[in-house]
Structure formats: C-alpha cells, structure tokens
Chains A and B, each alone.
Chain A
Amino acid sequence: MSQSLEAVSLECVRGDRRLFSDVGFALEPGELLHVTGRNGSGKTTLLRMVCGLVRPQTGMVCWGGKPVSTLGDEFFRQLTFVGHLNAIKDELTGRENLMVEAALRGNPVSESQAASALSRMGLKGHDRLPAKVLSQGQRRRTALARLLLADTPLWVLDEPFVALDVHAVETLQHAIAEHVAADGMVVLTTHQEVPIKAGRKRTLHMGGSGTGVAA
C-alpha cells in the first residue's frame, strides 16, 4: 500500500456554525504538515478528523487512496495521535502508562524500553512516580514519550510544544525531524513558531473565511 495521507474538501459544521469547509491537503512520506490558524479556526477538530474521531459533513480523509472510515484498524495501526489531552492515567507511573498503552496497541514494550523513552524526554528519575504528582510539563513529556516508542508512519500532534521547557522542545523537534527524515509523516498544530528542520514542510492555514488549502 502506498503510504500517503490525503484530505479532500473537508467540511465541519458544529451546531449552526460552519467551522471550516473545503479544506484539503495531501501528504507524502517524508513530509510534515503544519496546520496554522487562530483560536477556534478548527485546528483541533481537523486533527481529530484526520484521526477518524470526527466525521466530516462532506469530504473524506484517505490513507493510501482509501477512506479511513472504511479502513478502520488498518489505518489506526499506522497512526500515533497525541491530542490536546495527555491521555495518561494519574494512578499509573510514567512507565506503566507507556507499557499499558503499548500492550493495548498489540505492540508491547519492555520496562527498559519505556524507561529509556522517558529518560530521553528528560524524565529520568521521575518514571516510577504516579503521574498525579508530576507537573503539567512533565505529564506532557510523558504523553509525548509514546512517540519515541511508536513505529507508525503517521504522527498527528495537537499542540505538542505546549507546557514544554526549552530542553524538551529541542528533544521533540529532534524526534520529529528524525521521524520525517525516515520517511515518516507528521501533522501538527502549534502556536509557537518552532523551527523544525524537517525535509519538506507544508503549511495549511485555517483561515477565518473557513477555507484552507495546503501550500
């Protein structure tokens, strides 16, 4: 299957409001898509749509030429999503969080793999603490550590840099660049202007008028 992500004339209506319409882009391996736009322009919704969490009113998201709504698990196997919420359990330690999720994916990781991913994110020494005692930034780093364990070609990241310190931002930038260089694909939103030294970079601006086409 040729790995490419394509979105065709997506439209999202929430209640009476048309959040966006006629949004489209195409992403090939080794490319990064930066989704920009004001607050409330529908960036998060677009990302959730790409993940198949939100159904578009019109249009569709395709993976390898097939709509993701029919691919189901076959698409989810290619996807790692870090959403607006960290998706870590307060009662579990950092390691446990990563291991439980990997096990549910059907792709178990060992404790040492989880520990090394966490230490790469600068959480060495904190990975045996329950997540509820961690700071906001540390939780975010725990959530992002799953990227280091993932072997999926597509990463979808919603504001990954929020709450991170300079060091963690650098680590993440490095991880993203590495992923793209290895023919991966990344879709991300971010407010900060974060220079990502990735191969090919596309930008999709979610305009106020509701349209956006990747340039």
Chain B
Amino acid sequence: MFAVTGMVRRDVILAMRRRADVLTTLFFFVIVAALFPLGIGPEMATLRIMGPGVLWVAALLASMLSLGRMFAADYADGTLEQMLVLPQPLSLLVLGKVVAHWLGSGLPLVLLSPVLGLQYGLAPDVLKVLVISLLLGTPVLSLIGAIGAALTLGLRGGGVLVALLVLPLYVPVLIFGAGAVEAHSSGLGGEGHLSLLGAFLLMALALSPWAAATALRISLD
C-alpha cells in the first residue's frame, strides 16, 4: 500500500512546488464557465437549465487539459523509467499518480464549482448535488484519462490526440454527472444517477490503473 501513498506524497510535494499548473487548470474552468453566459445571453431562466451541463462540460475539458501533465514530466526526466523497474506493482504506482493528479486538478474544480453554480442561478440544494456528482465523477475522468495519457506519451500532437481518445470514453460520466443534477432539480431525485456514478468509479478504480500501467510499459518499450 505504501506504493500508492508514497507516490501520492511525492506527486503532491511536486505539485506544491509547481503551483502554477494547478491554477492554470482552475482558471481554465472558470473562464469556460464564464464564456457560456456571454455566448448564450444573461437570462437566468436559460442559464439555470444549462448550468449543470455547462459546468460539467467545463470540468471535463479542464480535467482533460491537465492530463498531459500526468506522466509527461516523469517521462522526460527518466523517473518514469525508474518507476517501471521498481519492485512495486506498477498499477499501484499509477493509482498513486492518478490520485495525486486528481488532488491537483479534480478536487479544486469540485471545490470551486458551487461558486460558479451561483453564477448560473442554481439553488443551494442543486449545488449540493452538483458537488457530489463532481466529487464522484472527476476521479473517473482522471482514471480513464490516465490510460489516454499513458498511450500518447511522447507523441507529437499528443494533446489533441488524447482528447480524441478519451472524450468518447467520458460520455457516460458526463451523462450521469450532469443528469444527476438535472434529475434533482426537476424533482425526480438524482440518487439513481449518483449511485451509477459511484459504480463507474469502482469499476474505473479496478480496471484503469492496470490498463494505464500496461499502456506505460508499451509506450516505454
């Protein structure tokens, strides 16, 4: 287990010494969320309907943009190569990296989302469901994204390519994440959606570290 915790510790320390990266993701999220009302118009009624979907898409894009950072630096300086010859299961090390990545890119989005939700006129109870759905959904995005990031390691045009690879796979998370908020605000109750998101999270936790580890071994071959 210290493979996971050790990796999280290391990457969190690194992220703390490179705070700018975390802030970039956060600013991107804020800017995208702010652009939509400018494009659609300031009617609160429309924005209230679009809010959950827009915030979810913005969070999804922000988390996707930060995927490049997950392995790229370690790949460039050779520490990733060292990780592959450590006497630890690579999938656990990858899991540690994903958790750290989520702490630096997913969690800040979750924490900031209620503020942006207010801009869209979302009611407090709706905001609560939004936060819970992002809390369950953004780790899935990081987990799936890890596979894409590992596959595109060191390729030219990797950033655009990773979008093409992972965005289709993000569809279920988006549907149930935004759907939970919408179901709640329309009075249907978002619990069903949220428990499915939870199921996605468990499935992604079980499968994607292994797939990403395999992808890393392929990419460094």
- The answer, yes or no, to whether B198 is at the interface (CB within 8 Å) is no
Interface stretch among A22-30, A86-94, A109-117? A86-94
Q: Within the complex, which residue of A83, A89, A101 is in contact with B14, where a contact is CB–CB below 8 Å?
A: A89
Inter-chain contacts of B88 with A (CB < 8 A)? 73, 104-106
Min CB gap B9→A, angstroms: 8
Check if A86 sits within 8 Å of B78, measured CB to CB: yes
- The answer, yes or no, to whether B157 is at the interface (CB within 8 Å) is no
- The answer, yes or no, to whether B103 is at the interface (CB within 8 Å) is no
Check if A92 sits within 8 Å of B13, measured CB to CB: yes
Given contacts A53-B220, A103-B2, contact A73 B89 (CB under 8 A): yes
Check if B2 sits within 8 Å of A54, measured CB to CB: no
- The answer, yes or no, to whether A100 is at the interface (CB within 8 Å) is yes
- The answer, yes or no, to whether B38 is at the interface (CB within 8 Å) is no
Residues of A39-90 at the interface with B, using a CB-CB cut-off of 8 Å, are 51-55, 73-74, 76-77, 79, 81, 83-90
Min CB gap A76→B, angstroms: 4
A88 vs B78: C-alpha distance when bound (angstroms): 7
Q: Within the complex, which residue of B7, B77, B79, B86 is in contact with A105, where a contact is CB–CB below 8 Å?
A: B86
Over the window 76-102 of chain B, the binary record of Cβ atoms lying under 8 Å from chain A Cβ atoms (1 yes, 0 no) is 011101111111110001000000000
A77 vs B85: C-alpha distance when bound (angstroms): 9
Inter-chain contacts of A83 with B (CB < 8 A)? 78, 81-82
- The answer, yes or no, to whether B172 is at the interface (CB within 8 Å) is no
Inter-chain contacts of A106 with B (CB < 8 A)? 2-3, 87-88
Given contacts A54-B221, A103-B6, A104-B7, contact A89 B77 (CB under 8 A): yes
Q: How large is the interface on A (under 10, 10 to 19, 20 to 34, 35 or more residues)?
A: 20 to 34
Residue of A nearest to B10 (CB): A100
Residue of B nearest to A76 (CB): B87
A130 vs B88: C-alpha distance when bound (angstroms): 27
Check if A76 sits within 8 Å of B6, measured CB to CB: no
Inter-chain contacts of A88 with B (CB < 8 A)? 77-79
Min CB gap A101→B, angstroms: 7
- The answer, yes or no, to whether B156 is at the interface (CB within 8 Å) is no
Inter-chain contacts of B2 with A (CB < 8 A)? 103, 106
A73 vs B83: C-alpha distance when bound (angstroms): 12
Question: Chain A's interface: helix, strand, loop or mixed, by majority?
Answer: loop
Residue of A nearest to B83 (CB): A104
A104 vs B220: C-alpha distance when bound (angstroms): 20
Given contacts A79-B85, A92-B13, contact A87 B93 (CB under 8 A): no
Check if A91 sits within 8 Å of B17, measured CB to CB: yes
Check if B78 sits within 8 Å of A84, measured CB to CB: yes
Check if B14 sits within 8 Å of A91, measured CB to CB: yes
Most A Cβ at <10 Å: residue of B2, B77, B93, B221: B77
Min CB gap B153→A, angstroms: 14
A76 vs B2: C-alpha distance when bound (angstroms): 17
Inter-chain contacts of B77 with A (CB < 8 A)? 85-90
Check if B78 sits within 8 Å of A105, measured CB to CB: no
Inter-chain contacts of A96 with B (CB < 8 A)? 13
Residue of A nearest to B218 (CB): A55
Inter-chain contacts of A55 with B (CB < 8 A)? 221
Q: Within the complex, which residue of B14, B85, B86 is in contact with A92, where a contact is CB–CB below 8 Å?
A: B14
Over the window 7-22 of chain B, the binary record of Cβ atoms lying under 8 Å from chain A Cβ atoms (1 yes, 0 no) is 1001001100110000
A35 vs B109: C-alpha distance when bound (angstroms): 51
Inter-chain contacts of A76 with B (CB < 8 A)? 85-87
A88 vs B80: C-alpha distance when bound (angstroms): 10
Most A Cβ at <10 Å: residue of B14, B79, B87, B88: B87
A51 vs B83: C-alpha distance when bound (angstroms): 12
A60 vs B158: C-alpha distance when bound (angstroms): 33
Q: Within the complex, which residue of A53, A87, A101 is in contact with B221, where a contact is CB–CB below 8 Å?
A: A53
Task: Pull 8 A–B residue pairs with CB atoms less than 8 Å apart, ordered by A.
Answer: A53-B221, A87-B82, A88-B78, A100-B6, A103-B6, A104-B6, A106-B3, A106-B88
A contact set with B: CB distance below 8 Å: 51-55, 73-74, 76-77, 79, 81, 83-92, 96, 100-101, 103-106, 130
4 pairs of A and B residues whose beta carbons are closest in the complex: A85-B78, A87-B78, A77-B87, A76-B87
